[in-house]
């Protein structure tokens, strides 16, 4: 018996994302990884990268070098789409904080503002009871 072969055309999704020359960079630096998202001025994602997606595994993901590599990858994708100037928002206590900023500069983006948006508790939850020995 002959089998019928489907001749459907694959639909290609076309990007309708508007990229101006200004945008935002969000850096989440945890103890285990560094996550980077680059958005346009409306907050729509242009490109993203992480130390794990850059090819690092295990404890090497948490290094400053991995953060720099990930930032350069994300920034090059954004520059190809037309991004030039960024505001940087850094969150988290990880070692990739400063390295990500160096990666932005080395990729060719100009930084207009740097803000630390790490959440800090004003009082926080109730503390544990004092240990009695």
Is the model's pTM score more than 0.85?
no
Half-sphere exposure for 39 (CA within 13 Å, toward CB):
12
For the beta sheet containing 34-40, the strands, ordered from the edge strand earlier in sequence to the opposite edge, are: 45-50, 34-40, 22-29, 85-91, 110-116
Identify any residues that bridge with 38 across adjacent strands, giving them in sequence order: 25, 47
| pLDDT tens digit sequence for 4-26 | 666 677 776 666 778 888 999 99
Q: What is the tens place of the pLDDT at every residue in 25-67?
A: 999 999 999 999 999 999 999 999 999 999 999 999 999 999 9
Superfamily name and number for 25-116: Ribosomal protein S11/S14 (3.30.420.80)
The average pLDDT across 106-113 equals 93
Would you list the domain boundaries of the chain?
Answer: 25-116
């Amino acid at each position: 018996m002959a089998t019928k072969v489907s001749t459907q055309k694959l639909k290609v999704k076309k990007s309708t994302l508007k990229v101006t020359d200004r945008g935002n960079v969000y850096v989440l630096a945890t103890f285990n990884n560094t996550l980077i998202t680059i958005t346009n001025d409306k907050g729509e994602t242009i490109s993203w990268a992480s130390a794990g997606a850059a090819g690092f595994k295990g404890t090497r993901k948490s290094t400053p070098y991995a953060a720099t590599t990930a930032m350069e990858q994300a920034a090059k994708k954004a520059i190809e789409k037309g991004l030039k100037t960024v505001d940087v928002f850094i969150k988290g206590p990880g070692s990739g904080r400063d390295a990500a900023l160096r990666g932005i500069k080395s990729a060719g983006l100009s930084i207009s503002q740097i803000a630390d948006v790490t959440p800090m508790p004003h009082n926080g939850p109730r503390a544990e009871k004092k240990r009695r020995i």
